Amino acid sequence: MKNVTYPLIWITSAVLLLGCSTLSKNECLQANWYELGWRDGSLGKPRSIFQGHVDACVKHNVHAEKIDYFRGRDDGLINFCTYDNGFSQGRYGKKYNYVCPSNLETTFLTGFSKGRKVYHHNRKIAALEKRLKKIDEEIKGKEKLLYSSEVTGEQRAILRSEIRQLDVQYRDIVRDLDELRKIDTRS
């Protein structure tokens, strides 16, 4: 067991270290630090990402332009920290890294909060639809058994009872789904 564990640890460590490099050599050599900051800000990346860029570029003897980067990042955050983007981030279940400046954060968080409600609403629907599918498969499986010649009369009675119980669950979920689908999540 130990012989297998150590190579796995080394491989995992190497992959993680390679994954930490935020920029390639060419990206470092050709970096427009303002544009790089703008891109990171527009994507809502945290300030700490800059240190990853610095570390990646130091390996290639390239000096990061901190002032240009953070000026670009601040400008990029203006694009990220909007109501619409907050809504989109929340709706798709993204995490907020608390990157928005205070003058933009309230607007972003208002959209984010509403988007999260839509996200959770849609997850409930998806979970119920998944449960419906599973119940339907269980019913079909039991119905198939019900008409099998190898099943005794007592087993048939049990199968019929189980099918009725599953049918009640199915109808309850359909009703819940109908109610959830009536809820307007746009506001």
CB atoms within 10 A of CB 1: 4
**Rounded distance, CA 99 to CA 105, Å?**
8
Q: For every one of its 187 residues, what pLDDT tens digit does the chain have, with 9 covering 90 and above?
A: 444 443 333 333 333 333 445 788 888 889 899 999 999 999 999 999 999 999 999 988 999 899 999 999 999 999 999 999 999 999 999 999 999 999 999 999 999 999 999 999 999 999 999 999 999 999 999 998 888 888 888 998 999 999 999 999 999 999 999 998 888 776 5
**Global pTM exceeds 0.75:** no
